């Protein structure tokens, strides 16, 4: 199911996501490390943590309404960094501030599975009793060896532990996977989707690995190139992943590219998002 359709049904009209930057770090960066592929500047948020959350949301609403004057419902997306990586009182203030803007129907919170605990989930569960709350856990790979080799700093077991805390609390749970990481096969990605189905996720974001210049993984690729999926290999794999998930799971993203083209090292095809989605749909029809 497309997430846009889900939101439309739930809120009775078109609902637009507005990305904000709360200026939060993540356990990796706080420890002076980082996932090998990560460059927060390449995320798509056209926002700045120098503005308050309310200012960012208001600016986002104005931006959206210039293009889509009929847009009335907004979901505030805490995107860069790990947006549960702060004391509970600070998190509460950030989320509540987002909800003060007229038309905001909920929050989506991007984070890592090792960055929640019972207290933070209790905060989200309380919020979820009066608004829509989505948490997005970056799992990325179903192989601990791949996660370790790329400096992710959490395990698949951490994800399962986060799911145990979060399930059945009224919180909508989304998982992120990256297809094409060195160390993973395409069959591993299909296995990851089956694993997420068993974990009973509500939504999914699938990203093709895209190498952002000056990241550790891009530097490694330049020194010692590793295979990246072709567009068709990627599209066929995503089609198989989606087939492994129940129809009720919302598809929230099926391809990705950095914010600016000059940030991209490879693969070039990820820049052609519409073509990628078309190929995925063609493979879905065939399967
Ligand atoms: S991908 Fe996320 S967890 Fe990894 S270093 Fe970047 S912000 Fe931190």
What residue's CA is closest to ligand 1, atom 5? 34
Alpha-helical (H) ranges within the chain are 3-11, 27-30, 53-67, 88-98, 118-128, 144-149, 156-166, 186-199, 216-223, 231-243, 273-286
The token duo for 88 is: 């509970």
Output the CA 82–ligand 1 centroid distance in Å: 7
- Is 240 contained in some domain? no
Atom of ligand 1 at shortest range from CA of 37: 1
- Is 108 contained in some domain? yes
* pLDDT band, very low/low/confident/very high, at 70 (cuts 50, 70, 90): confident
> Considering its fold, how many domains does the chain have in total?
1
**pLDDT for 49:** 67
Each residue of 137-156: pLDDT tens digit?
999 999 999 999 999 999 99
To test the pocket of ligand 1, the residue of 81, 137, 205 to mutate (highest count of ligand atoms within 8 Å of its CB) is: 81
- Is 110 contained in some domain? yes
Pocket of ligand 1 (CB under 6 A): 26, 28-29, 34-35, 38, 40, 81-82, 112
Output the CA 32–ligand 1 centroid distance in Å: 11
Helix (H) / strand (E) containing 5: helix 3-11
The token duo for 172 is: 């909508």
Q: Domain range for residue 106? A: 3-209+245-257
**pLDDT > 70: percent of the chain:** 97
- Is 51 contained in some domain? yes
For the whole model, what pTM was predicted?
Answer: 0.95
d(CA 11, CA 172): 15
- Is 99 contained in some domain? yes
Output the CA 71–ligand 1 centroid distance in Å: 31
Each residue of 9-58: pLDDT tens digit?
999 999 999 999 999 999 998 988 889 999 866 554 455 668 999 999 99
- Is 11 contained in some domain? yes
- Is 82 contained in some domain? yes
To test the pocket of ligand 1, the residue of 22, 25, 32, 38 to mutate (highest count of ligand atoms within 8 Å of its CB) is: 38
**pLDDT > 90: percent of the chain:** 91
What residue's CA is closest to ligand 1, atom 4? 35
d(CA 273, CA 11): 27
Output the average pLDDT for the chain: 95
CATH number at residue 205: 3.20.20.70
- Is 131 contained in some domain? yes
Atom of ligand 1 at shortest range from CA of 152: 4
């Amino acid at each position: 199911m497309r997430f846009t359709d889900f939101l439309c049904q739930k809120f009775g009209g078109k609902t637009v996501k507005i990305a904000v930057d709360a200026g939060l770090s993540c356990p990796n960066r706080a420890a002076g490390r980082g996932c090998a592929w990560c460059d927060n500047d390449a995320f798509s948020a056209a926002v700045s943590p120098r503005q308050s959350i309310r200012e960012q949301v208001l600016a986002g609403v104005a931006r959206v309404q210039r293009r889509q004057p009929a847009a009335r419902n907004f979901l505030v997306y805490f995107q860069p960094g790990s947006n549960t990586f702060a004391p509970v009182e600070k998190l509460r203030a950030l989320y509540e501030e987002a909800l003060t803007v007229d038309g905001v129907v909920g929050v989506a919170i991007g984070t890592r599975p090792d960055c929640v605990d019972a207290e933070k989930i209790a905060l989200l569960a309380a919020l979820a009793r009066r608004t829509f709350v989505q948490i997005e856990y970056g799992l990325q790979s179903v192989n601990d060896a791949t996660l370790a080799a790329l400096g992710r700093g959490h395990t698949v077991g951490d994800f399962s532990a986060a799911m145990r805390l979060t399930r059945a609390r009224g919180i909508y749970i989304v998982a992120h996977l990256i297809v094409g990481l060195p160390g993973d096969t395409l069959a591993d990605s299909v296995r990851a989707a089956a694993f997420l189905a068993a974990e009973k996720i509500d939504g999914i974001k699938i990203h093709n690995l895209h190498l952002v210049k000056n990241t550790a993984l891009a530097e490694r690729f330049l020194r010692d190139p590793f295979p990246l999926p072709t567009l068709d290999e990627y599209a066929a794999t995503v089609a198989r992943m989606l087939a492994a998930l129940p129809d009720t799971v919302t598809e929230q993203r099926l391809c990705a590219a950095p914010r600016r083209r000059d940030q991209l090292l490879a693969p070039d095809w990820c820049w052609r998002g519409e073509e990628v989605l078309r190929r995925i749909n063609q493979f879905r029809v065939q399967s």
